[in-house]
Structure 1
Amino acid sequence: MEIMAHPAHSHGQHHSRADLAAAAQARLKSAGEQWTPLRATVFAALAGYDRPVSAYDVTDAVSTASGRRIAANSVYRILDLFVANNVASRVESANAFIANVHPDCPHDCIFLVCDRCGGATHVDDDRITGDVRSAALAAGFTPVRPVIEVRGLCANCA
């Protein structure tokens, strides 16, 4: 996942794959959640992909890694927990998930989703997402999580 930071936005630590699981574990624990063996396996499977993947892809990978069939609803619950705690992001238009490479940085994501290869580029622009939140508030709506996605072709597929 490519990260392009807006000048007014700083991530602090950008975790590599090598220390990403430790950062995710620390984030969950700081939120009062447990890092169970199944959660660790689900995160490892999710982080093993370089593009957004479905919960069924993660379920298959976890089932293969554990040597037994894991229920998809269990994986969905874990992925939802990961999203709620900023450990993963959900690409809504693709009904897919991707590991968050900076789980300690809460912000609204903008995804550029390639219709050909399925890749997603994560762009941070707090000005745009702040404007979306402000527009919602001005309309009397309390935003929880803006979803901004642009569908098209990535540079490699264009």
Structure 2
Amino acid sequence: MAAHAHKHHEPQGIDLTVAAQAALEKSGEQWTSMRASVFAALAGFDKPASAYDIAESVSKAEGRRVAANSVYRILDLFVGANLARRVESANAYVANAHPECLHDCIFLVCDSCGQTTHIDDDPVTRGVRHAAELAGFTPVRPVIEVRGRCAACEAQR
């Protein structure tokens, strides 16, 4: 089974911001300066970030205090519009590297360093949805997280 069964273009930098703005506007929402700031902060983290991490980053960048509650509301909007994904076990968020593509994700979360890798494997996620349906459950947003150690941390053991 291929680890990355789902292939697509993953924009980075300004291209990711443009893709995120287009996806948000396509969902009927406005791309405000605050939403742009929150997305820029989120995309700037190399690990999942909490709303508090993002609020601190935006506060420093803008020279004014930004409340975590405001960031939570924006993050909820971003998750709903497919601009961000929530890493449930860490209560943290990552920018979706392909906001124009809607599918279920699998997160590999390193217990040592906190690094989180997102992989797409549509056959696995379809299997999870199918199993839920067979049990009489209607899956809305399956979250699959695998906890363990990343290759770098494992090599240091």
Shorter-chain TM-score tier: over 0.9
Indicate which of 142, 145, 150 corresponds to 1:146.
142
CA–CA distance in structure 2, aligned partners of residues 116 and 77 of structure 1: 30
Instruction: Specify every segment of 5 or more residues in structure 1 that has no aligned partner in the other structure, as ranges.
Output: none
Give TM-score scaled by structure 2 length: 0.94
1:74 to 70, 93, 98: 70
Cα distance between partner residues in 1 of 2:10 and 2:148 = 26
- Check if 1:10 corresponds to 2:7: yes
SS at match of 1:156: helix
Distance (whole Å) between structure 1 residues aligned to residue 100 and residue 86 of structure 2: 17
Could you tell me which residue of structure 2 aligns to residue 46 of structure 1? 42
CA distance in 2, matches of 1:10, 1:104: 13
Q: Tell me, yes or no, if structure 1 residue 61 matches structure 2 residue 60.
A: no
Poorly superposed stretches of 4+, deviation over 6 Å: none
Q: Structure 1-normalised TM-score?
A: 0.93
CA deviation vs aligned residue, 1:103-140 (integer Å, no higher than 9, x gap):
01101000000011111111111111101101111111
Q: How many residue pairs end up in the alignment?
A: 152
1:70-111 residue CA offsets vs partner (Å, 9 max, x unmatched):
111110010111111110111101111011111011010000
Say what the alpha-carbon RMSD is for the aligned residues.
Answer: 0.9
Structure 1 residue 50, shift from structure 2 partner: 1.2
Structure 2: gaps spanning 5 or more residues: none
What residue identity is the alignment partner of 1:15?
A: P
The answer to which structure has the higher helix fraction is 2
